[in-house]
Structure 1
């Protein structure tokens, strides 16, 4: 790595890449560092609906922050949507224009749809009633917004990467950022050495630095996506999302062997409940509703919601604009990512978009403070409960049958935490190999638990693969990085 750079962007998901492209177009020379591969996190696992109709988002914003903030949020997302699709058009990347539908099949969901309709109309979105034949099942209530888009997220990542390199920016993969100095000039410690930057953008979905205090205001939620062969099936051509509990979503995509139906939903707080049960319920609903066969693929992803409901995009207080962050998109990161890129670029260049003051005007209220307290209390209880269970449970929690009579070797597909409350160890057997790793999260010291469906151990705030690599974690930790790979210009 070069010892100095203009702007260092941490994370090569959609937010980091959009920000870097816009900075490069503005005459800066951004360096993007990605611990794994570009788009390998939530971006690559997204169902990728580039839509201004976003479930119950606008009514929640309206309730927490007011009409002015809702209008600014819609304006920001409209800008982000237009810009992102413009990049895809310029790069010759295909995508589909589709109506977005928000619907409900329950009375409670129908009331939520009506509230979202009012908030949408107030913010200038031309939503209309859902046509009777838009979905292959009856609904209690529904609204539609025409001319939205569904994309292939990794095709978008590739287009943005080429755009960045052509504009003079740099992207280095396989390099993890482990820390940033407390004062300017910002010395960034990485697995490939130190870099000094004039500005640092944390585009890591959730900030890797505890000094941002986002840990007290963010909740992590995980959802699932199942992919089915769709040819010859009565599947919706729109992008559909329900406001029922549990929520369900559906969109089409192109597979290697024809059309694919992507069914998503069954979201829940990370680390709570059975992932396998959530997937079984979602699969049963998809088979009954669309008469599809067995899923061809399945995956999951998580995103974060702030107690204020408004995404946090901009400088970290006390850093004089040197450290910036973008987080809290709450599963609507496609248009929001490009919007964040415009906002962060404006902050760095001194020319922010006109809607920024209104978007940042909402301060946390009493309800938001209470939500933060509940979040922290829940995390604290999970720590205490896990350590207590190890102390009174004979030094072992979770798992099931053991292999070969050895009490410390789980059977295939099983895992548990053992070793007592002071130095707990996670043990699991997958694909014929038994792994032993520390069961302590490197971020804030929580005790992990085994999650069979995804072959990971997890918490309400972090998840790790069985060999110690993590799909999602707030800290930087001690993960062994992939081999560094610098993409040529």
Structure 2
């Protein structure tokens, strides 16, 4: 193995680097509330805020820091135009489903904008146009079909052949009146208002157990509990599987690079294409009058591929097509794609009476999280009828799941491949001694697979290579210095600590001293 070469830019999300957040205490005593929300991202915080606004006592339990997980690493587009979703929905779910999807997503755009105005939140909200475009002429028909399907679904969408991108396109769907913003500034303000309304927020309080009943009970790794009439699981990828959700979600990571650009040369809208390995583009205002161009793409399953090469490709694409300065930031975001395209928001499973879930936003968590807050609040409080699109998002939907059987089988075949084949793979590292500084590898030591990382100073850290979720073998992501599970997307630090679920337990520490000496 060779020592990893450096990548351009600061290894941090701009949203994270540009905001300071007040700390909230961990859960140190047993508490009782009306509703407990597991997860402090956009879905969890939106739900908790809506519930507190409706007069419910609420507790949010976050494993790390609020608005610092997936939400802190998003692209932060707030749009009802989701690449080519409407053509697919019309084919697989029918025209009415596409209409309900469009109505609910645009409603979420307007709801977020209304909250920003009502709460006077300084989160750089800008109303802009969204574009789904193609550069390959062979993709033009799909773009025209999408424009027609989106318009038929009720959106004011149109087909265009020109944009303000600095390169030619084959065609695009345009939707005006969408938005982009600073997600952390928004959610931190929402959290402050939640607390002011009597809501409780507990950070560094990882939930490890859920007992359903009347009431429900959550337990944390610190052996503290929250008793609540209702529980919402909004952990991005559910940490509990009560409705075959693991079989209906596919995790993927996307890389992000960002660089300053003169304001008058920055694209005015938000753009996404499935061409060229997928590319998503937007910009955000900087304090010096310039803007930050944010480019996303190069998606891959966690624990697979070569993220360093992917970062280089994405960075090269940005510099070749836009007059940007040196790369300032790089980061990665993780999303979960549902097997039938539509997020899963509603009762956790067919027998659920007081447990709910919000997941599977497929890369569009800003509108999805706001939508989840409104939908779950209506279901929990019963103060008003659920919105007409509630059934579309219901996790218990069976007919849609059966229609998507090929996708389900494909996802599970991929999981099975990793579960079996990764155990048969012969590693290219024979011993711990072969691992250079800054690198990591799975090594067999005394008959056990160990995930071993060597720090730049030579310090070796070894943990079990078996993911604590369902036992798949992890792989090392050099670009982000993390162990990743390719089966369901759990991520771990080099010390074995859980960075991202669904795993809730750390990787076991291992002793590889003898192999290191050898």
- Aligned partners of 2:263 and 2:291 also within 8 Å: no
Corresponding residue for 1:42? Answer: 70
Rounded to whole Å, the distance in 2 between the matches of 1:252 and 1:101 is: 14
Corresponding residue for 2:483? Answer: 457
- Equivalent position to 1:355, from 384, 389, 396: 389
- Equivalent position to 2:469, from 443, 451, 463: 443
- Aligned partners of 2:432 and 2:452 also within 8 Å: no
2:433 aligned counterpart, secondary structure: coil
- Equivalent position to 1:384, from 420, 435, 453: 420
CA-CA distance at 1:362 after TM superposition: 7.1
- Equivalent position to 1:137, from 167, 174, 190: 167
Corresponding residue for 2:280? Answer: 249
Corresponding residue for 1:305? Answer: 337
- Equivalent position to 1:180, from 203, 210, 214: 210
- Aligned partners of 1:68 and 1:358 also within 8 Å: no
2:399 aligned counterpart, secondary structure: coil
CA-CA distance at 1:333 after TM superposition: 0.8
Corresponding residue for 2:411? Answer: 375
- CA-based RMSD: 2.1
- Aligned partners of 1:426 and 1:438 also within 8 Å: yes
CA-CA distance at 1:229 after TM superposition: 1.3
Corresponding residue for 1:259? Answer: 291
Q: Which moved more, 1:233-242 or 1:93-102?
A: 233-242
1:471 aligned counterpart, secondary structure: strand
Corresponding residue for 1:221? Answer: 252
CA-CA distance at 1:211 after TM superposition: 2.4
Corresponding residue for 2:270? Answer: 239
Corresponding residue for 2:156? Answer: 126
Q: Structure 1 pair 29/366, CA: closer, same or farther in 2 (3 Å)?
A: closer
Q: Structure 1 pair 354/407, CA: closer, same or farther in 2 (3 Å)?
A: closer
Q: Structure 1 pair 108/466, CA: closer, same or farther in 2 (3 Å)?
A: farther
CA-CA distance at 1:313 after TM superposition: 0.5
Corresponding residue for 1:101? Answer: 131
2:498 aligned counterpart, secondary structure: coil
What does the per-residue CA deviation read over 1:133-161, in whole Å, with 9 as the maximum and x for residues that have no partner? 52211100112111211100101111210
Q: Structure 1 pair 426/21, CA: closer, same or farther in 2 (3 Å)?
A: same
Rounded to whole Å, the distance in 1 between the matches of 2:451 and 2:87 is: 42
- Equivalent position to 1:329, from 342, 346, 361: 361
Rounded to whole Å, the distance in 2 between the matches of 1:221 and 1:271 is: 10
CA-CA distance at 1:109 after TM superposition: 2.7
Corresponding residue for 1:485? Answer: none
CA-CA distance at 1:105 after TM superposition: 0.4
- Aligned partners of 1:252 and 1:260 also within 8 Å: yes
- Aligned partners of 1:52 and 1:77 also within 8 Å: yes
- Aligned partners of 2:429 and 2:443 also within 8 Å: no
What does the per-residue CA deviation read over 1:77-118, in whole Å, with 9 as the maximum and x for residues that have no partner? 122221212222223223111111111001333222112111
Rounded to whole Å, the distance in 1 between the matches of 2:368 and 2:245 is: 18
What does the per-residue CA deviation read over 1:368-394, in whole Å, with 9 as the maximum and x for residues that have no partner? 1121122112111112112112xxx3x
Rounded to whole Å, the distance in 1 between the matches of 2:447 and 2:359 is: 33
Rounded to whole Å, the distance in 1 between the matches of 2:446 and 2:491 is: 19
Q: Structure 1 pair 191/472, CA: closer, same or farther in 2 (3 Å)?
A: closer
What does the per-residue CA deviation read over 1:176-200, in whole Å, with 9 as the maximum and x for residues that have no partner? 1001015443121113401211111
Q: Structure 1 pair 407/162, CA: closer, same or farther in 2 (3 Å)?
A: closer
CA-CA distance at 1:256 after TM superposition: 4.7
Rounded to whole Å, the distance in 2 between the matches of 1:183 and 1:423 is: 40
CA-CA distance at 1:282 after TM superposition: 0.8
Rounded to whole Å, the distance in 1 between the matches of 2:167 and 2:460 is: 46
Corresponding residue for 2:442? Answer: 417
- Aligned partners of 1:69 and 1:359 also within 8 Å: no
1:444 aligned counterpart, secondary structure: coil
CA-CA distance at 1:341 after TM superposition: 0.7
Normalising by the residue count of structure 2, what TM-score does the alignment of the two structures yield? 0.86
Rounded to whole Å, the distance in 2 between the matches of 1:451 and 1:87 is: 38
Count, aligned residues: 469
Rounded to whole Å, the distance in 2 between the matches of 1:235 and 1:292 is: 9
> Structure 2: any 5+ residue segments left out of the alignment?
1-28, 509-518
Q: Which moved more, 1:105-114 or 1:208-217?
A: 105-114
Rounded to whole Å, the distance in 2 between the matches of 1:421 and 1:260 is: 50
What does the per-residue CA deviation read over 1:304-336, in whole Å, with 9 as the maximum and x for residues that have no partner? 111111111001224442110011110001111
- Aligned partners of 1:23 and 1:345 also within 8 Å: yes
Q: Structure 1 pair 346/426, CA: closer, same or farther in 2 (3 Å)?
A: same
Q: Structure 1 pair 178/398, CA: closer, same or farther in 2 (3 Å)?
A: farther
Normalising by the residue count of structure 1, what TM-score does the alignment of the two structures yield? 0.91
What does the per-residue CA deviation read over 1:449-470, in whole Å, with 9 as the maximum and x for residues that have no partner? 1121111121222222212233
- Aligned partners of 2:144 and 2:159 also within 8 Å: no
